[in-house]
Structure 1
Amino acid sequence: MTEQANKSLQNFLLSRELSNKKVLVCILNWGLGHASRCIPLIESFEKLNNEVFVLSSGPALELISKNFPGRKCIDSGEADMRYGKSSLATSIKIALQSPRFIRNIRVEEKLVEEICQQEQIDFILSDNRYGCRSKLAKSVFLGHQLNIPVPIGGSVVQALNKRLLNRFDEVWVPDYEGPQSLAGRLAKVLDLKVPIAYIGPLSRFNRKAAERMPSVYDKIFILSGPEPQRSLFEADILAGKYTESSDGRMVIVRGLPQEKGELKVPENWASFNHLNTEELLNLIEESKEIVCRSGYSSIMDLHTIQRVAKLVPTPGQAEQEYLALLHKSSDLILGNS
């Protein structure tokens, strides 16, 4: 986030009297996007002398641990969300995992209640974790999907979403309100009983990307998301699906902060399992083109650094398919609406 956006975020937090408090940030482990967009929030909380605790698991918790070494990180231990190998298979897999999702809400509630009692938590920020709330602390839900796009059962899903959101004290939407919205109809206001605040896009990047000439790489591929779709995307990239020539210089960032092994790539390619924020931005600046998933955190990052990309939605993930269509033109990302 730019310096101006960071100041605006800190002023917003101060308007909610969030200084010198104990804050629990609960992050969904569903790819790296939820964790990366919480980085500027955690930084702002700490600048206002709040003590921050983080609850997450898997790669998301690993990303936060690497960005905030020595902080109090708690492993919630839930199983990763799994996708299918096709759009239909992914839709079926998500539907079959719904009972586990409901059960996990109850597990989260119990765990968060214990943490609040042990650590005397004053404030909870829950990024897309519906069970991370407590009567012992003000509880805020962070999310851009007030309207969840699903291929079937839409009215049931929307009713459940509304019911779960109304259990929180407030909802924060990381987006602009109105025609400049990056999430489009996903972030349009529901008839909620609790207050909704549009806090602006969140990005771990803190500046516009400079254009370095000549470029070192023709393309940078930035991977993310649940398996097996992350690996299938990687395989398609290596098979040349998104390259016009085998002669160009390419670099792939795999989105695997826990991985130790190296990926075998052609001689004119470079590969990184994971990069920190500044390293990734430098690599983006050295690349002519960007290819990435159309997840909302990627959209916010592109908006912040003012770069366009070839957006490739995860098959079967209706949210990403909608966002890829919404941002087919670069106007919203570049602020030209």
Structure 2
Amino acid sequence: MKILVAPLDWGLGHATRCVPVIREFMAQGAEVEIAVVKANAAFFREVFPGLRQRLAPGYNVVYPRFGANMGLWLLKNTAHLNAVMRYEHRYAEEMVDRHGYDILFSDNRFAFYSKKAYNVYMTHQRRIAFPPALSAFEGVGIRWHEARMRHFDEVWVPDVAEFPGYAGALSHLQSRSEPNVKFVGPLSRFGVDMVKASASPSGMAQYSSVAVVSGVEPARSRFEASLHEILRALPGRHLMILGKPQVPRNSWTEGNVDFCTHLPTEAFAEAVRNADWVISRGGYSTVMDMAFLGARCIFVPTPGQYEQLVLARELASAGYAVHIPEHGLSVKSFEESFKKKVKLPKPGERGLLQGAVEGLLARG
């Protein structure tokens, strides 16, 4: 079976959570290629240097500077998003015609499907989160997303079926039992063997905190600047991972803060396991990664990305993580957070993914 995997380019999280899916496809004998954009091509070259890459159209999302403007941003960019989806669908059909893919695997790419292939769509947002001011439209958002998903033969949800799982209300919808929905368990690029290896002593310095910068602009750079200023004023030694796999790897030190543009998967896991705290945006892929690595987390949702706010609030309410809104970032808020006792629940076995892949490949 020949498979083309295409992750959405709204941040690196969609790419990282495709790693265990690609590994499982390959482990079960499938021929895999990856549809990439400029922002995630280097990441995939590092993790899967032997896999062929196909250049795909990008959504090129730039979020509004202030989260309160998200509603207007959506209205303003509707035409752009629809145009990208039309192009994306033509691209998918062309890829199948040219290269003979049996299966197209889309991680949240709304129109990456072909009438001449078997199509799988992965999302943890069966319910798209809306801010309070737009909550009346949440039902419209659910129906819109369901209409997109009906173009696919299967919908995979990277969570457990039992509520609340890791994504809570985002992945679990009451009174809905679509026959093509499969829960494949939480997914992370950090496999069990890697987690065990990163827990062993290696001489890496332990940090008071590891700050992981990620997301789309201009929010990403604003988050980086805030953390830069605060960490330099906090006691202890800290590491900032800037999340720029598309630029040459580089590292340097300023005072009590070590910086690196990007870390390979193994080094990233080791840094997290040797840190007292991890500070990050808290997208769902990050939540799953941190759960596999056993990290204590402070999540700072990206303004305007209400999904991250819902996740952070639910995880904080359950005692699994600390939530700090971006406008509340300060030396004091971090010092208070460092006193709290929180931890994400450990994921169970990953047999759900294995079973889903077995069922998918058995079709051929």
Interval containing the TM-score (normalised by the shorter chain):
0.7 to 0.9
Partner of 1:60: 40
1:144 counterpart (124, 135, 139): 124
d(CA) in 1 for partners of 2:118 and 2:166? 28
Letter matched to residue 284 of structure 2: Y
What residue number does 2:49 align with?
Answer: 69
Distance apart, 1:91 and its partner CA: 4.2
Match of 1:286 in 2: 274
Deviations 1:217-272 (A, max 9, x none): 111001111111110000000121xx494442111001111124868762221111
TM-score, structure 2 as length reference: 0.80
Counterparts of residues 48-197 of structure 1 (less than 5 Å): 48-151=28-131, 152=134, 153-189=137-173, 191=176, 193-197=178-182
Cα displacement (A) at 1:108: 1.0
Residue deviations 1:71-119 (CA, integer Å, cap 9, x gap): 1111113242111222123443344222211121111111111111111
8 Å contact kept, 1:256–1:274: yes
| Range with bigger deviation, 295-304 or 210-219 | 210-219
Structure 1 residue 214: Cα displacement: 9.6
Q: Which of 308, 316, 326 is the aligned partner of 1:320?
A: 308
Give CA deviations for 1:11-61 in whole Å, capped at 9, x if unaligned: xxxxxxxxxx10011110111100000011111111112111111212223
Corresponding residue to 2:265 among 277, 288, 300: 277
Name the CA shift for 1:110/1:119 in 2 (closer, same or farther; >3 Å).
Answer: same
Work out the CA distance in 1 between the residues paired with 2:26 and 2:13.
21
Could you tell me the percent identity over the aligned residues? 30
CA 1:180–1:103 in structure 2 vs 1: closer, same or farther (change >3 Å)? same
1:21-32 → structure 2 map (5 Å cutoff):
21-32=1-12
Q: Which amino acid is the alignment partner of residue 127 of structure 1?
A: D
The answer to whether 1:298 aligns with 2:286 is yes
Q: Which 5+ residue runs of structure 1 have no aligned equivalent?
A: 1-20
* Counterparts of 2:163 and 2:141, CA distance in 1: 26
Letter aligned with residue 199 of structure 2: A
Root-mean-square deviation (CA, aligned residues, Å) is 2.4
The amino acid that maps onto 2:227 is I
CA distance in 1, matches of 2:200, 2:299: 20
| Counterpart-to-counterpart distance in 1, 2:13 and 2:190 | 13
1:264/1:87 CA distance change after superposition, 3 Å: farther
- The one-letter amino acid of 1:111's match is Y
Matched with 2:325 is none
- Asked if 1:219 corresponds to 2:199, the answer is no
Of 204, 210, 225, 2:199 maps to: 210
| Change in 2 beyond 3 A, CA 1:31/1:48 | same
The residue number in structure 2 matching 1:267 is 255
CA distance in 1, matches of 2:343, 2:272: 20
Deviation larger for 108-117 or 83-92: 83-92
Q: Is the 8 A contact 2:213 2:280 kept in 1?
A: yes
Match of 1:290, SS?
strand
Aligned partner of residue 106 in structure 1, secondary structure: helix
CA distance in 1, matches of 2:105, 2:238: 38
The C-alpha deviation readout for 1:124-153, integer Å capped at 9, x for no partner, is 111000111111111011000000012323
Distance 1:246 1:30 in 2: 31
Q: Secondary structure at the match of 1:218?
A: strand
State the 1:193 CA deviation: 5.0
Deviation at 1:192, TM superposition (A): 6.4
CA pair 211-302 structure 1, distance change in 2 beyond 3 A? farther
Query: Does the aligned pair in 2 maintain the 1:293–1:311 contact within 8 Å?
Result: yes
Q: 1:283 to 1:264 in 2, by over 3 A?
A: closer
Alpha-carbon distance, 1:285 to partner: 2.1
Distance 2:47 2:273 in 1: 21
Q: Is the 8 A contact 2:41 2:246 kept in 1?
A: no
Aligned counterparts of 2:75 and 2:14: Cα–Cα separation in 1: 21
- The DSSP-based 3-state class of the residue aligned with 1:97 is helix
Question: Is the partner of 2:54 in helix, strand or coil?
Answer: strand
* Inter-CA distance 65–334: structure 2 relative to 1 (3 Å threshold): same
Question: Going by fraction, where is helix more abundant, 1 or 2?
Answer: 2
TM-score normalized with structure 1 length: 0.87
Q: What is the distance in 1 between the residues matched to 2:163 and 2:152?
A: 27
Residue correspondences, number: 315
The 1:260–1:94 alpha-carbon spacing in structure 2 relative to 1, beyond 3 Å, is farther
- Check 1:313–1:217 CA distance in 2 against 1; reply closer, same or farther (3 A cut): same
- Distance of 2:28 and 2:50 partners within structure 1: 18
Which amino acid letter does the alignment assign opposite residue 178 of structure 1? E
Give 1:41's aligned residue: 21
Deviation at 1:277, TM superposition (A): 0.8
Distance (whole Å) between structure 2 residues aligned to residue 214 and residue 68 of structure 1: 25
Query: Which residue of the partner structure matches residue 12 of structure 1?
Result: none
Extract unaligned runs of 5+ from structure 2. Answer: 321-341, 348-364
